Amino acid sequence: MIRWLWFFVAAVQAALALRVVARLARTARGERIGPARVGMATERVSVIVPVLDEAERLGPCLAGLHAQGVEAAEILVVDGGSIDATRELVLGWAAHDRRIRLVEAGSAADDANGKVHNLAAGLAVADPAVPWLLTIDADVRPRPGLARALLAFATARRLGALSVATLQRVSGPAEALLHPAMLTTLVYRFGIPGSATIDPALVQANGQCMLLRRDLLEAVGGFTSLAGEIVEDVAIARRLAARGEPVGFYEAGPLVEVAMYRGAAEAWRNWTRSLPMRDARWGWAGRIGLLEVLLVQALPLPLLLWLAVRGRAGTPLGRLNLVLALVRIGVLAGAARAYVAPPFTYWLSPVSDPAVALALPFQAIRRRHVWRGRSVVRGGSR
């Protein structure tokens, strides 16, 4: 019985491994967004920055946005009811840059996504004559020329929506042991950034830095319709793809980086909430993706060690997991470019794979989550 159980596990693992390896091979030569020359982008963009108690992190973001060229027509910092010095910080920058404006959104409704609430408030006051929107999170650090590069790239590829796999800056060795294992789950499920797709099951999106054509966003209900979503960026992208609009996801190198968390504990609490990327269109593709993470990313190294201890590393199961372990090491090496000077513990991060792989299904089935002390319910209260 046990022998047949292992045969079944190996068969499923091999089938999923073929899917993952084919996906990695297919996306290995994707495009990247690079700097654009002055004058390459003729369009303008409204930047929307949703904030709530971001006084400690918002400064570098506003400095980077202040350094953007004329493509950034307005910079709307939308506050959802901060009780720290966020408003004062924004008003200080507004005194030096007329494009920067504080928008008071007030608190979101109970159990609603507060970020969506702020984004909707920003869209409501954004200049309707500006055709593009750029959402930027408070922990993002834009470099000069980011807005111009995104607009030039989107225009050249005739894309109405794209987002950026931002360069990651981790807080230290502890987070570097965990964060890459979490990031790798996206690579295994969706491939390497660098292309656009109209398949909702293959869409990737990152609302930390997301460029959208305003008319397309409004055609899928705008931000207001996303109040019950945990991953509003993915929900937008999948809705657009379902309409036949290509949605792109690209690396942009040093043009934009982000310091998401202040430590490993904060990363664990907060990123596992959104990593399953579950929305209304999640379906079987999402479930299979979590199984790929478990059996193809997380299982091979510990299973190979267990087989080696039992003297069975040379069996077909052992050889399969040796290949998958080598693939995992290759992905680890390739993903190093996604980090700013990663600590040495980055190279040990596969040890965190099992914990991450087991956490994601649990988070996927949870409806109620907590973000910044506020409750958020998938689908809204009912």
pLDDT: is 273 or 185 the higher one? 185
pLDDT single digits (tens) 310-332 = 998 888 899 999 999 999 999 99
Look up the pTM and report it: 0.93
- Where is average pLDDT lowest: 11-20, 35-44, 192-201? 35-44
Query: At 232, which amino acid appears?
Result: E
Q: What is the mean pLDDT of residues 28-42?
A: 86
Asked if pLDDT for residue 382 goes beyond 70, the answer is no
Per the structure, the count of domains in the chain is 1
Edge-to-edge strands, sheet with 247-251:
100-104, 72-79, 45-51, 132-136, 209-213, 161-165, 247-251, 195-197
pLDDT single digits (tens) 214-268 = 999 999 999 998 888 889 999 999 999 999 999 999 999 999 999 999 999 999 9
In a domain, 246, yes or no: yes
**What b-and-e string marks burial along 155-178, b requiring 16 or more CB atoms within 10 Å of the CB?**
eeeebbbbbbbbbbbbbeeebbbb
167-330-297 Cα angle (round to 5): 90
Asked if pLDDT for residue 273 goes beyond 60, the answer is yes
Asked if pLDDT for residue 167 goes beyond 90, the answer is yes
In a domain, 222, yes or no: yes
Asked if pLDDT for residue 192 goes beyond 60, the answer is yes
Asked if pLDDT for residue 1 goes beyond 70, the answer is no
| pLDDT of res. 258 | 97
| pLDDT of res. 332 | 98
In a domain, 344, yes or no: yes
Percentage with pLDDT > 70 across the chain: 96
Q: What is the mean pLDDT of residues 321-349?
A: 97
| pLDDT of res. 373 | 64
Residue the block writes with tokens 């299904």? 361
Q: What is the mean pLDDT of residues 356-362?
A: 95
In a domain, 91, yes or no: yes
In a domain, 316, yes or no: yes
Q: What is the mean pLDDT of residues 195-206?
A: 95
Q: What is the mean pLDDT of residues 373-377?
A: 70
Query: At 246, which amino acid appears?
Result: P
Asked if pLDDT for residue 381 goes beyond 60, the answer is no
Asked if pLDDT for residue 308 goes beyond 80, the answer is yes
In a domain, 280, yes or no: yes
Which CATH number fits the domain that encloses residue 127? 3.90.550.10
In a domain, 377, yes or no: no
Residue the block writes with tokens 């980011």? 146
In a domain, 373, yes or no: no
The whole domain housing 174 covers: 1-366
